[in-house]
Structure 1
Amino acid sequence: MQKPSIPKGTRDFSPEEMAKRNYIFNTIREVYHLYGFQQIETPAMENLSTLMGKYGEEGDKLLFKILNSGDCFSGITDEELTERNAVKFAAKACEKGLRYDLTVPFARFVVQHRNEITFPFRRYQIQPVWRADRPQKGRYREFFQCDADVVGSDSLINEVELIQIIDEVFSRLNIRVSIKMNNRKILTGIAEIIGEAEKIVDITVAIDKLDKIGLDNVNAELREKGLSEKAINHLQPIIQLSGTNNEKLEQLKAVLADSEIGLKGVEELAFILKRIDSTPIRSELELDLTLARGLNYYTGAIFEVKALDVQIGSITGGGRYDNLTGVFGLQGVSGVGISFGADRIFDVLNQLDLYPKDALQTTQLLFVNFGEKEEEYLLPIVSKARTAGIRVELYPESAKMKKQMSYADAKKIPYVAIVGENEINEGKINLKNMVTGEQNLLTIDELIAQF
């Protein structure tokens, strides 16, 4: 018999891992609720027409496509079959695909339900997404995203609140982070000033890699993309800006004096920083001009969060986009959003061992089972303990005491209740602390009080 397995790039989660993951999801969910975000869910599969062409050519290749049910060959000629052209075949044989992210389905949701939605619409969504990527460390084919977006409002107060949400979530998780912030308008302004406006994408993709590949390699990549030496020299002081956030903004104002869009970006960041100062956050917030966020649909402020105590990629990102719903025919709906990388946060919490002991929600108390008579006596007591909110198990069989105790040990159950004939006669419960080994005779009310 071949041992069963799961597809590469997917994972099973044990009860302990699920408890840890739920601790992350619940923390994020609680903070989203504090800021008035409401949850939606969209189906795992979308029509391919919804997904195709939204993520660029690379993204289209990474979509998991679903074969039409029934006769998937209908409408395909023998010539097309012998041609063995996978792309053409998929175009006819697959009408649906698994969602690649939560943003495009969200855009579809907004357009489809625009008459029932109250704008500005504050939604969050915590669901898995799928990418036919090559699996590697920290990169999976199925992973969760935890997105929050506000659509239908141009106000920068939304950006301020998203920064506060990021700060609150990581403070609750006890992860020290640096929140990096930039603005696409500033990047566009820089490209204008150095006379390479049409190369904005090449420039941002290259400088986004600065902390990974270093300045010399960034410059080499810019040369490769056809930037002139003059333009590259012009870029150096901008890439290497230093000082406090406000000092950087002052330097940028001077550098971008001739770029209207660049100055608009500086003004937006100044507004956000000023508002954050009035309700200070615990995390460091750094203006970082090398931050570009790979995606081309950002048009304003962009964010990325780095963990300070662990070497790992960004653990949260997001930004402002102006035309999320335009691809579905609804123009001019501006939005801003963030996405927490639950899988990476999970790795950080594991490496730093930051899970609170009670977050794992395991059984607190096991009642030992000595037989039918004891069972009858215990069931109402177990029920009362559960009503009081104690996580309780009654061992289902009257097995040997040693077996029941090793069960408690294996499941790390901290307390065991032993009730035999003597205890029943006294109306008491013998409570054993599995860590210290000490035992106490208690009434049911004393037992409940103990928890």
Structure 2
Amino acid sequence: MRDILPADKARRERVLSVIRELYRTHGFDEIETPALEEYSRLHAGMGGDNEKLAYNVLRRGLDAEAIESIGQAIGRAADNISQLSDLGLRYDLTVPLARFYASNRGQLPGVFRAIQIGPVWRAERPQKGRYRQFMQCDIDIIGDDTSRAEAELMVASLDALDALGLEGATVRINDRRVLDWMLDSFGFAGDERPSVLITIDKLDKIGPDGIVAELRERGATSSAIDAFESFLRRAQTMEYNAFGERQIRKALPENAPDDIVQHLVGIGEAVAAGRPSTAATVEEIPLVFDPFLVRGMGYYTGTIFELAHPSVPYSLGGGGRYDGMIGRFLGQQVPAVGFSLGFERLVDLVELDADAESQAVVLVHDADVPVAELVAHKAALLRALSPSKGRVRLERRVKNFKALLERSTADGYTAFATVSAGVEPGSLELKPLS
């Protein structure tokens, strides 16, 4: 976890403002959910490895003797951890959204488009670009089982990156049902598929040889590994910057399920229609079909996707369809799909200038200027500036005047004026800081 200094905080808020307003123009409404959720919800088997990284909150009212007693039980049975904890910090925004929708469905439209922006917590191993508290920016559509929902999310997210100056992004897309069908067609048994998917997810890191070697080391079905290896090493003509039924079928074994293929094709057609400035036809849309895209969250039931940009080798976001989650809370199935931007990675790539219309002024005053005069100067300047855009800060003059101005510039201020005793409010001369 980390502290964020004023200049960085201002920059982060400008990026968030662009994302938030872009999503609102696409018809999404912002909601807010608590940082804490019930332990049972956070550990319901839907969050994949993130459940292991959750911060749990100790039950209130436990004395030392009770904690020691339960602690001894935990030593014998790890699943007794819930006896110590009944709440936890959210590790993503999807589980809280599912609970929110189940609790408030009667007050929401039939198809609900949600924006959620807020911090989440995971007990990660700290490293560059990976924090234990970090911001997520999510949009979700609940109540729509058609390809329109995925297309709306993708168009809005691609538009958001364009608005941040990161044109040229693409979305890698797959379907968890495709993965299940492929593994079945190769001959992998149902109980070994979770571990096989963990290995397949490393394809871009260790390559086909590494995948085959690891599958054999794991003891997966030998004949299935042979079939999978043969598929990986088949001769094929790669088609880049193209997305359509022909390209999807070429990337899969023969006789892929028509309904899944058509769902993916429908998404491509809708994205092409939603981004006419960048995609004249479905063949040119910024989608790439990747039959080995896995994504580790346990709640995905259909389409899955990741956001890529040519400037970095890692994804800038992702998501998928999780039609089974809300039913766990509501008692009836409700279709849902979401897209999450990786804000901490994204913000480091964005270069946003301060608002050109804003004026941030530092008033550098002598020590002998009366307080009433200082407040009058500040009030007069705020009235002269745009009410929603102006900022004024008072700074006492110091010996190192240059360092004071440099610090003010780093804090986002654009102009300064010097204030001496007896000067009339409104008569100060503003000078640019850069």
| Pairwise CA distance, 1:94 | 1.6
- Identity, % of aligned pairs? 32
Name the TM-score, length of structure 2 as normaliser.
Answer: 0.84
Tell me the equivalent position of 1:441.
none
Tell me the equivalent position of 2:429.
430
Structure 1: tracts of 5 or more residues without a match: 1-9, 436-451
CA distance 1:232–1:281, change in 2 (3 Å): farther
Q: Distance in 1 between matches of 2:329 and 2:216?
A: 37
| Pairwise CA distance, 1:249 | 2.4
Secondary structure of the 2:139 match is strand
Tell me the equivalent position of 2:322.
321
User: Is residue 187–residue 200 contact of structure 1 (8 Å, CA) maintained in 2?
Assistant: no
Listed one character per residue, the Cα deviations across residues 253-298 of structure 1 (whole Å, up to 9, x for unaligned) are 8x432x5xx3222111111112222343647321222212122322
Name the TM-score, length of structure 1 as normaliser.
Answer: 0.81
Listed one character per residue, the Cα deviations across residues 338-393 of structure 1 (whole Å, up to 9, x for unaligned) are 001111112333xxxx23243897x6222333423853762442231245545332
CA distance 1:411–1:86, change in 2 (3 Å): farther
Tell me the equivalent position of 2:364.
368
Structure 2: tracts of 5 or more residues without a match: 279-284
Q: Distance in 1 between matches of 2:80 and 2:3?
A: 32
Tell me the equivalent position of 2:381.
382
Q: Which among 399, 407, 416 is matched to residue 410 of structure 1?
A: 407
Q: Distance in 2 between matches of 1:359 and 1:319?
A: 37
Q: Which among 105, 125, 134 is matched to residue 143 of structure 1?
A: 134
Secondary structure of the 2:355 match is helix
| Pairwise CA distance, 1:331 | 2.6
Listed one character per residue, the Cα deviations across residues 163-202 of structure 1 (whole Å, up to 9, x for unaligned) are 1112111111112422211222222222232233625434
User: Is residue 150–residue 337 contact of structure 1 (8 Å, CA) maintained in 2?
Assistant: yes
RMSD of aligned Cα (Å): 3.1
Amino acid at match of 1:99: R
User: Is residue 47–residue 299 contact of structure 2 (8 Å, CA) maintained in 1?
Assistant: no
CA distance 1:387–1:100, change in 2 (3 Å): same
Q: Distance in 1 between matches of 2:187 and 2:306?
A: 28
Q: Distance in 2 between matches of 1:360 and 1:67?
A: 49
CA distance 1:66–1:161, change in 2 (3 Å): same
CA distance 1:328–1:72, change in 2 (3 Å): farther
Amino acid at match of 2:202: K
User: Is residue 188–residue 197 contact of structure 1 (8 Å, CA) maintained in 2?
Assistant: no
| Higher Rg of the two aligned structures | 1
CA distance 1:288–1:392, change in 2 (3 Å): same
CA distance 1:376–1:179, change in 2 (3 Å): closer
How many residues end up aligned between the 2 structures? Answer: 413
CA distance 1:345–1:252, change in 2 (3 Å): closer
Amino acid at match of 2:361: L
Amino acid at match of 1:355: L
The structure whose RCO (Cα within 8 Å, separation 6+) is larger is 2
Q: Which moved more, 1:202-211 or 1:112-121?
A: 202-211
| Pairwise CA distance, 1:396 | 5.4
Tell me the equivalent position of 1:268.
263
CA distance 1:433–1:205, change in 2 (3 Å): same
Tell me the equivalent position of 1:179.
171
Secondary structure of the 2:344 match is helix
Tell me the equivalent position of 1:193.
185
CA distance 1:149–1:390, change in 2 (3 Å): closer
